[in-house]
Amino acid sequence: MIHIAICDDERKYAKEIELMVEECCSKTGNMYHSEIFEGSMKLIEEVEKRKYFDIFLLDIGMPGMGGMELAAKIRDILPQTIIIFITSYEKYVFQSFEVQPYRFIPKKRVADMLPNAIKDALDFAKEQEKEFYVVENQNVLEKIPVGNILYIWHHGKYAYIEKADGSNIKIRKTLKQIFKELPAGDFVWADRGCIVGSMQIERIEGKEIVLRNEKRIAVSPDRIADLKNQMLQYWIKGR
């Protein structure tokens, strides 16, 4: 499912945008959820709580925090998300390059430009989904770039996903369930209680995996031979 945030201080106009999104998603058969925010602060509060959106449709001229500043803050938290500006302020088109928008749409041309922009953004978001692992439970919905996952370990009823930024997130699943959901070949078993991201492995030393950040993870003796073979094939393919 694609998650879309619409931010405009004019609710009537935001509803019009939402109807265009609905029409486009219906035509393309995309499952989606959209949410309207009538101000930048309300939206950034949700993003800072790690509420995830694949696509942001942002006005630029809003009271308080403008769309440009809002986009910069979103980029800091969700660097790979899709941002589309919809604005009357065409003079900001070159300045907007600083936050790498996917599209910049003048409001006077929204009827002919937005449908195609949404269609292309949906296609792009679906491609990106292949590079993410989605964590969804009662407290959080988060898409984690596969390349940001160091390793995943299990304790009790929960699995803990350790990320490159030093944070982690827990999910109530078994490691076997998670392993099946991850991209094939991008993760290996260190032992029954730990999965490691292949792209994070710098070397195998003795009975330990050494990650790029120099963290060491013990490997069970019965896994060493298979692990070395898997990583040899992974490195040969240049993954």
Q: Is the pLDDT of residue 70 over 70?
A: yes
Whats the size of the chain, residue-wise? 239
What is this structure's pTM? 0.61
CB 5 within 8 A of CB 67: no
- Give CA–CA dist 237/222, Å, rounded: 25
Summarised one tens digit per residue, pLDDT across range 195-214 is 999 988 989 999 999 998 88
Question: Which CATH number does 2-129 carry?
Answer: 3.40.50.2300
Summarised one tens digit per residue, pLDDT across range 152-175 is 999 998 999 998 778 888 999 999
Three-state DSSP at 223 gives helix
Q: Do domains 2-129 and 137-236 have the same CATH topology?
A: no
78 alpha-carbon distance from chain centroid: 7
What is the fold, at CATH topology level, of the domain defined by 137-236? OB fold (Dihydrolipoamide Acetyltransferase, E2P) (2.40.50)
Kindly list the domain boundaries of the chain, sorted by start residue: 2-129, 137-236
Phi-psi region of 214 (alpha: psi -120 to 50; beta: other; left: phi over 0): left
CB 206 within 8 A of CB 233: no
Indicate the pLDDT class of residue 239, thresholds 50, 70 and 90. Answer: low
Give the residue among 125, 114, 176, 108 at the shortest CA–CA distance from 4: 125
